[in-house]
Amino acid sequence: MTGEVESNLHGALLNGAAHPDISDKDRMPFGYPDTIVLPTGETRTGNMVPAPVWLIQGSDRTILIDTGLGDVAEAIAVPARYGSPYMASRSEEQDIVAGLAQYGVEPQDIDTVVLTHLHYDHIGNNELFSNATFIVQKDELDLALNPPKFCMFYFPEYAYKLSVVADRLVVIDGDYEINDDVRLIKIGGHTPGCQSVLVKIDGAVVCLTSDVMYNYRNLELDWPIGSFWNLKELISGYKRIRREADIIVPQHDWQIFDKHPTGTIR
């Protein structure tokens, strides 16, 4: 975990569109409240969702999937400048360095970082991983470095998160095999270059979907998230993930910890 971010846009699937066979309550994500209370005392409809990263051990290298939410003050102030006043928070237990330490890993031990896409809550701690190469899809770069105003969650203030690792970027275009156990599949859909991660564990294939799926409701109802770049790609991606994975893990759902209480998938 690297903290929590507000998800008032995406708590309801497809921005609140009605599902003909599912009640409003049943289509909401696990633990979804009617309102959230912000540190300011303000209340509004929405949800605070986890912003996890994933550590992959046991192969020929130590791999981190995304670097998560960075400085909380920055993560609040920057979106607000563009009319998106999203809340963010992090407890001491949710600090990325503390989380890695639970597995005997320090930032300098990470060999490879996979950036599933370049939204601000996925690249926030890039500068910590001084010995890692960073793998990213080519189609993400332009939006992250020169974001047009209509692109949500890409902010020019976060371009430095790429510049600090520019000499260690591995830019790919399409599917990519890191080793025999870890494979990246380019889905798109959520963003032009969004990629999911397939990991072989004890004969099963686990898919870390990234933001292709925010929560298990997206999987169960086969219903896309509210923020998408290309809906056709997103639906095709859902079908591909179902074909290729035995265990599917969405990105921003507290139910992950209900299904995997230790936070580890074995």
DSSP per-residue codes, 15-59: GGPPBTTB-HHHHSPTT--S-EE-TTS-EES--EEE---EEE-SS
Number of Cβ atoms within 10 Å of the Cβ of 162: 19
Q: Helix, strand, or coil here: 231?
A: helix
Q: Which residues of 200-237 are buried (b: 16+ CB within 10 A; e: fewer)?
A: eeeeebbbbbbbbbbbbbbbeeebbbbbbbbeebbeeb
Partnered with residue 123 across adjacent β-strands are: 68
* Domain range for 137: 4-259
Interatomic CA distance for residues 160 and 158, integer angstroms: 5
pLDDT at 41: 76
Closest CA to 254 of 33, 97, 29, 81: 29
pLDDT at 22: 66
pLDDT at 84: 79
In what side-by-side order are the strands of the sheet with 247-249? 176-177, 182-186, 195-201, 204-208, 247-249
Q: Establish if 250 belongs to a structural domain.
A: yes
pLDDT tens, per residue, the chain with 266 residues: 799 887 765 444 544 555 666 666 666 677 676 677 766 777 777 788 899 999 999 888 999 999 999 999 999 999 989 887 788 999 999 999 999 999 999 999 999 999 999 999 999 999 999 999 999 999 999 999 999 888 889 999 999 999 999 999 999 999 999 999 999 999 999 999 999 999 999 999 999 999 999 999 888 888 888 788 899 999 999 999 999 999 999 999 999 999 999 888 87
- Reported as type and span, the H/E element at residue 72 is helix 72-81
- Read off the pTM: 0.92
Q: Helix, strand, or coil here: 65?
A: strand
**Site of tokens 């270059």:** 193
Q: Establish if 149 belongs to a structural domain.
A: yes
Show the tokens assigned to 102: 């639970």
Q: Helix, strand, or coil here: 157?
A: helix
Residue-wise pLDDT for 170-183, tens only, equals: 999 999 999 999 99
Q: Establish if 34 belongs to a structural domain.
A: yes
pLDDT at 21: 67
Q: What is the CATH number of the domain that holds 142?
A: 3.60.15.10
Overall domain count for the chain = 1
Q: Establish if 265 belongs to a structural domain.
A: no
Residue-wise pLDDT for 210-236, tens only, equals: 999 999 988 888 888 878 889 999 999
Q: Establish if 266 belongs to a structural domain.
A: no
Interatomic CA distance for residues 243 and 241, integer angstroms: 5
Q: Helix, strand, or coil here: 30?
A: coil
